[in-house]
A and B are shown apart, each in its own frame.
Chain A
Amino acid sequence: MKLGILLTSSPENENTNTVIEISRAAREKGHEVSIFLMYDGVYNVHKKEFAELAGKGVSIAVCALNAEQRNVQKVEGILFGSQYDHACIAGDVDRFISFG
């Protein structure tokens, strides 16, 4: 199954841990996971857990405009993309969960 996750809250919110745990569990069960970070969610991009998820095959994209607005620097392995990328995730997945 393909799972899409939107995260719009900052790392201080408990949503971050929920997204990490769900993504980790889904990957361990062999599901495809795509995460899109936008609004304050872009601040999560520097958390080491997200780099670990990317290393385990989780596809992570960030709204480049929101990142630029917040002076969030690029991270290797994470796509600094567009709202079009978000639309692709929403269109392609079997299940989509939003955390904000």
Chain B
Amino acid sequence: MKKITVIVRNLPLNTRRNSEALRMGVGLTLREDKVTVIFMDDGVYSAAPAVPELIGAPTLKKEFEALPMMKCTMLADKPSLEKREIKNLVPNVKPEDRDEIVRTITGSDIVIPF
């Protein structure tokens, strides 16, 4: 079993990269590997409640349902959250200290910054 980390770093509403990163994260769980998704920098906005469908952008509802179901851990980088004053996160995303984020990344067999 490999440890695979997917890093989401972009602003969510001007790209489909973030939704695709999460869809890919769901796919990566299919061979029983341990998948972690980390939201950091502007990517933390993707982990905050939003209504992207109002502007025709993809909703992340399905991804946020499937990832915990497939035992994927979702972490949000605390310094990134604090800098942007984000207080609320979608269910199952855990705010995490930078040290732990670094430990997760360096302890991974594969890191995919998407």
Interface residues of A (CB under 8 A from B): 6, 8, 38-39, 66, 82-84, 86-88, 90-91, 96, 98, 100
Contact = CB atoms under 8 A, between A and B. Distances in A.
Contacts of A86: 24, 27-28
A50 B109 CA distance: 27
Contacts, number: 51
Contacts of B112: 6, 96, 98, 100
Contacts of B17: 8, 39, 100
10 contacts: A66-B20, A83-B23, A84-B30, A87-B30, A88-B31, A96-B109, A96-B112, A98-B111, A98-B113, A100-B113
**Size category, B interface:** 20 to 34
Interface of A is mostly: helix
